Amino acid sequence: MSSHKLKEAGLKVTLPRVKVLEAMESLVGSHVSAEDVYKLLLENKTDIGLATIYRILNQFEEVGILTRHNFDGAVARFELKSSNHHDHMICTNSGEIIEFTDPIIEARQKEIAREKGYELLGHSLVLHVKRTGSPA
């Protein structure tokens, strides 16, 4: 599957690219840094340099395999591109990243753009939250 996805994206199938993509696929639903991928590959006895992993992740973003997030402004986090749009909440206590979807928020953002004379082409919504009690 990984090599097919690389070919589909127009990338040459190389062992490092396959291994990085397999690592990302094993972490579906996660928002990982290049360092996280590096550590996972080392745990699996795959020695690919951190600079190479950064290059590959950037290439994957360019061809639409991954989405890059800069939640905290410092460390880029990557996730496999999903066909379903979602937004994110980040817990300020734990750093946990929670994905969510809300059709009302999505509709309202489009309405706001339209009211201002624009067409919404895309967006990224990140809510910074702090747990206050038991989840609803």
Binding residues for Fe cation are 85, 87, 106, 123
SS3 category, 53: helix
| Element containing residue 35 per DSSP (H, E) | helix 34-43
CA quadruple 93, 95, 101, 106: dihedral sign: positive
Closest CA to 39 of 20, 64, 56, 14: 20
Binding residues: 85, 87, 91, 106, 123
Binding residues for Zn(2+): 91
Q: Is 60 exposed, middle or buried (0-12, 13-18, 19+ CB in 10 A)?
A: buried
Integer angstrom CA distances of residue 124 from 1, 69, 70, 86, 127 = 29, 9, 11, 9, 10
